[in-house]
């Protein structure tokens, strides 16, 4: 039972943190228009489309992982979201978060993949609905990583156009 409680704590912290990040895009600060302008400035175009997609994906992946529902799928959302964030915003700054690097993105994605691999546990919707973890083990790991990588790489190839640095 302690493993299930530990998984619940991990899922809740990871999931509700990411969901709050997504909801903040909808309801906080600059909302969708401000987020859209920021996405445009970092090369994710069209900005409004990406603001809505990011806010929705962060909210749903976060809530899905927190609830333990079809767990490898929201974990794949974490991988895709964190890889895009790391590549577009944090990569130029190096690894460490104190210099706005990508270490935090790595930690969030890796923790979500670990949960997908272990399964959501007995205190989850997967357990309630299916009577067991849904696609845990190697299948959960592969689904989370491969689907997440495919989503991130596809989004970057189709939409990311890095801003041109002005001489100066």
| pLDDT single digits (tens) 59-79 | 999 999 999 999 999 999 999
Model confidence pLDDT, tens digit, residues 23-46:
999 999 899 999 999 999 999 999
Residue holding tokens 């670990």? 114
Q: Is the pLDDT of residue 167 over 80?
A: no
- Kindly report the pTM of this predicted structure: 0.93
What percentage of the chain reaches a pLDDT higher than 70? 99
**HSE of 104 in the Cβ direction (CA atoms, 13 Å)?**
12
Cis peptide bond N-terminal to 12, omega within 30: no
In this prediction, residue 18 carries a pLDDT of 98
Model confidence pLDDT, tens digit, residues 95-108:
998 999 999 999 99
Q: Is the pLDDT of residue 10 over 90?
A: yes
Long-range contacts at 23-32 (CB < 8 A, ≥ 24 apart)? 23/55, 23/59, 25/51, 25/54, 25/55, 25/58, 26/55, 26/59
Q: Mean of the per-residue pLDDT values for the chain?
A: 96
Averaged pLDDT, 127-142: 97
């Amino acid at each position: 039972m302690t493993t299930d409680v530990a998984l619940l704590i991990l899922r809740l912290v990871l999931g509700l943190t990411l969901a709050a990040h997504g909801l903040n895009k909808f309801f906080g600060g600059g909302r969708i228009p401000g987020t859209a302008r920021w996405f445009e400035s970092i090369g994710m175009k069209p900005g409004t489309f990406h603001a809505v997609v990011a806010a929705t994906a962060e909210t749903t992946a976060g809530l899905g992982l927190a609830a333990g529902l079809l767990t490898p799928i929201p974990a794949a959302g974490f991988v895709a979201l964190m890889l895009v964030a790391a590549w577009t915003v944090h990569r130029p700054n190096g690894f460490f978060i104190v210099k706005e690097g990508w270490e935090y993105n790595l930690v969030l994605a890796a923790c979500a993949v670990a949960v997908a691999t272990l399964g959501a546990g007995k205190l989850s919707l997967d357990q309630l609905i299916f009577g067991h973890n849904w696609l845990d083990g190697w299948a959960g790991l592969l689904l989370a990583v491969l689907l997440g990588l495919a989503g991130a790489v596809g989004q970057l190839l189709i939409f990311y156009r890095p801003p041109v640095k002005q001489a100066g």
